[in-house]
Structure 1
């Protein structure tokens, strides 16, 4: 893998495809691999370098493909291995790379490994997963008999009783997603062998789902209770666990060692600190190239968690992103994102998707993309796609949202308040079909879509934006081109400006004599930004307004106006 200070991925932009919602080629209402291949011209036009493909492996779809039953097969809903090979070949022919989603903290309970593991207490693969007897003094199935008090991310306990063997298995997510036991070297070698198999097939790297959860404290101690139903917080005992660095170094050595090619590895790591990230992404340690962290997308979570949102304080956002820029400035590397398949649409979340839709979508894009790090564009983000107007929970499909609604309402919460939180923060917002045109079902499918298309597709769609120079799509094109053209964007130093201003987001990038300045007003009222002498309108290389006003040491900014200056 490339690990010098000018690695290829430092000037690259990654585009995430969520296959179920991208493009449907056969009219069954579910996106598929042939649909993706048919739309590659869109990605080439946009100018991205890498496609990250969310899981397309065989799966019962309990968690939309993040529950894998066969790592070496394509789920029939998405197509075949031949379709996959054709997609890889077409991407490579267009000069783009493909990164697979790697989900190896857990499998599906229908994976042959788990089927054998649960077949008896003496099964050869019993120790491939985390099995434990009931808590001492309890009978299996009794309330409180779970081996630990950990809660699942998808509600309820993190342990499920297997009636046949009388023991519980660990599942940090859905009960159909049992956690693999990475303490067992046979598990690790099986995973590495599978990864090598995909690389041999032409894949260019992996985005690794919750990969900092693979090392648990083997003692599996109880977590501190939260006061809600006696559920304990197991997070300190499985996040960035005692052997995770050892495992990732071993993975790098066993999977990529001696292999020719330019690969990309990114670890999704909930709860990771910048101190951890420096270690994970230090090129000399050979673990991963970059991490996904969640600090900045937790800042609008209220006292009740993500479904209790509060308005974003921009000063906190600048402090968070600025801290990561500084911390990974000398060693390591950042991933830059607003959106993915688990986050609501940024223009609805941090922007103004009504009066200032175009301006806020492009301003937020400008601010993100010109930081130091590798930007990630989530499908539809480049069009300014918005959250969906879900009328009720019956219109939602995501297991996390459905479970939360059921449990919260059963506990006495106001159903309308619960629904309001789900509308704002639910994962289905990211999963409505891509809006290709203004025809029925937005050009996504000729059938009935698995999740309803956002009604605003009649005007908010790709076809309407391609030839409009002021469109969100073309603004993203220009941002991506800036990263490709100017090394200062990829590897320049970073300095935050106006850190305490509640509406301005301004920073400077420097590489030798080259200086790039980002000046943005992330608010609905006009603002004036003070600048160092020497900057003027002649230095503007990108703007989301028609007539940038820069002179005499300041910039006059309209609502949600963003400027990029270079000298």
Structure 2
């Protein structure tokens, strides 16, 4: 039996709420729609607070709800200090926060600092003001008569540069370009500009003043670009990635490398933000969305004077292989321990194929860019079985767990969506070569039948729901003691009771290669990632298991079925 390295740095945030929190991501457009227009909204979230309370989560994290043209589902922000009319009002936001507070749930919101919408007042002023103006200094405009200023590619496909002249119609804008790492409607800020830095300080103060408990920082590794904007090894093919193993075989990409990412200057920004938030409330969460490798590099973002946490994308991208998963856990926890930070665990979010579908493919062939009707389809039953096991295993690890809306229902990806219904900008910008992220963003089912399966009362939905969606509804699963929802509730409650989020990992050795087991305090957490049952010489009482079947009673030997997990109390 081996233990991970002890924490090397003792920090003064040991009692912070986020160190062991279970945080539930809400994608507002798809959670619940109160007015029937086909888009979820803040009142819809408030109306479902009882579901979140019964689930037992500590906090909710909302994807963007700000005014936006919705080119990239709200990640193109036109006004950082208001609520989009289709989502409600600032009063609706305040009411939602109050409702969450009333049931003991904290609120985290998205912060999108790398870029704004091209409809933001600053960018409109920059276009109007013309070359060389102070207004243009807030963004990254460059003059280049011979084509784009460098070879950078957008992560949504195509060049990362767009010509200015077609937008303004003025001759003086000929040969001027602006940078956008994502859609052309998402121009990148110039983070060397003091007004950009001050605007986001005000953003933090404004929303923290409305009771927000934390901020998830979008593209946290992308704000600062390399001096001189040198060419990138990937060029316009950046969206494809270059992740290959030693034999040249493709592997899931877990990092964004190149001159536009992970530059040293980002850390100065986050140290500044930490100071701003500490002046409000020291326990306000900052969590980084940063696709950075190796783990030691990611750990730089979670030093005590910077971020609180960073998403563990190595864990999210880990294939269904036990040795690989153990290496990821060890490396993640060791790197974070070196700076005294907790580790996060996540399996799904609004940018990736849902894990109930991803695990329905053979290990190493998990889809990364969306799934369409003409693509190979997953084994849905196997995917859900593995997904339940993966979630139960992750909830047994110390640190913080992030859930994506609907995973507690066992929702799969919508893998047969009509391509005509797709709205992800990556679909069109890559020439329809990547399906994009719409499949994981489908509006949730709240009822077994009726309009939009209870998403609203009109049946309108901004993305189509697949057939049979109502079978996953909470109203259906409430009646089944072995449902996915029931398992999530039991596991989250037991995690809190046994303080697993504040514990540690002591691996059990001499197990079959497909089996991982560790002790966390008085609880043994086991997962069998193989295709054969495993009989293990473990003793204890079953607290939670991922498969349907009887529970309870003292066991002197444990049979763990294939593709399942369980917790045993000593």
TM-score bracket for the superposition, by shorter chain length:
0.7 to 0.9
**Corresponding residue number in structure 1 for 2:473:** 461
**Corresponding residue number in structure 2 for 1:388:** 414
Pair 1:563 & 2:551 matched: no
1:315–1:501 Cα contact (<8 Å) kept: no
**Corresponding residue number in structure 1 for 2:491:** 479
**Corresponding residue number in structure 1 for 2:334:** 326
Moved more, 82-91 or 148-157: 82-91
Gaps of 5+ in 2: 1-10, 243-255, 361-377
**Relative to structure 1, is the Cα distance of residues 346 and 498 closer, same or farther in structure 2, using a 3 angstrom cutoff?**
farther
- Distance between the aligned counterparts of 2:100 and 2:186, measured in 1? 31
2:77–2:116 Cα contact (<8 Å) kept: yes
Counterparts of residues 4-403 of structure 1 (less than 5 Å): 4-119=13-128, 120-134=130-144, 138-139=145-146, 145-163=147-165, 164=170, 165-166=173-174, 167-225=176-234, 235-253=257-275, 255-260=276-281, 262-283=283-304, 286-299=305-318, 312-330=320-338, 331-351=340-360, 354-356=380-382, 359-403=385-429
1:364–1:522 Cα contact (<8 Å) kept: no
**Relative to structure 1, is the Cα distance of residues 548 and 405 closer, same or farther in structure 2, using a 3 angstrom cutoff?**
farther
1:54–1:100 Cα contact (<8 Å) kept: yes
1:117–1:125 Cα contact (<8 Å) kept: yes
Instruction: Judging by fraction of residues, say which structure has more strand.
Output: 1
**Corresponding residue number in structure 1 for 2:546:** 544
**Relative to structure 1, is the Cα distance of residues 374 and 226 closer, same or farther in structure 2, using a 3 angstrom cutoff?**
same
- Distance between the aligned counterparts of 1:229 and 1:96, measured in 2? 39
**Corresponding residue number in structure 1 for 2:5:** none
**Relative to structure 1, is the Cα distance of residues 369 and 180 closer, same or farther in structure 2, using a 3 angstrom cutoff?**
same
CA shift digits 1:29-77 (9 cap, x unpaired) = 1111111111111001101111100000000000000000001111111
- Distance between the aligned counterparts of 2:54 and 2:139, measured in 1? 45
1:361–1:472 Cα contact (<8 Å) kept: no
**Relative to structure 1, is the Cα distance of residues 230 and 484 closer, same or farther in structure 2, using a 3 angstrom cutoff?**
closer
CA shift digits 1:329-362 (9 cap, x unpaired) = 3521222110111111111112575334653332
SS in 1 for 2:505: strand
- Distance between the aligned counterparts of 1:433 and 1:391, measured in 2? 13
**Relative to structure 1, is the Cα distance of residues 553 and 224 closer, same or farther in structure 2, using a 3 angstrom cutoff?**
farther
How far has the Cα of 1:94 moved from its partner?
1.6
User: TM-score by structure 1 length?
Assistant: 0.85
Moved more, 352-361 or 444-453: 352-361
CA shift digits 1:119-160 (9 cap, x unpaired) = 2123322111111111xxx44xxxxx1111011000001111
**Corresponding residue number in structure 2 for 1:522:** 529
SS in 2 for 1:191: helix
How far has the Cα of 1:550 moved from its partner?
10
- Distance between the aligned counterparts of 1:3 and 1:430, measured in 2? 38
- Distance between the aligned counterparts of 2:308 and 2:501, measured in 1? 15
**Relative to structure 1, is the Cα distance of residues 168 and 337 closer, same or farther in structure 2, using a 3 angstrom cutoff?**
same
Gaps of 5+ in 1: 140-144, 301-311, 409-417
RMSD of aligned residue pairs (Cα, Å) = 2.6
- Distance between the aligned counterparts of 1:126 and 1:109, measured in 2? 12
Pair 1:490 & 2:501 matched: yes
Number of residue pairs aligned between Structure 1 and Structure 2:
518
CA shift digits 1:237-272 (9 cap, x unpaired) = 12111211111001111x213223632110110124
**Corresponding residue number in structure 2 for 1:504:** 515
**Relative to structure 1, is the Cα distance of residues 228 and 499 closer, same or farther in structure 2, using a 3 angstrom cutoff?**
farther
How far has the Cα of 1:467 moved from its partner?
3.4
- Distance between the aligned counterparts of 2:237 and 2:137, measured in 1? 32
**Corresponding residue number in structure 1 for 2:371:** none
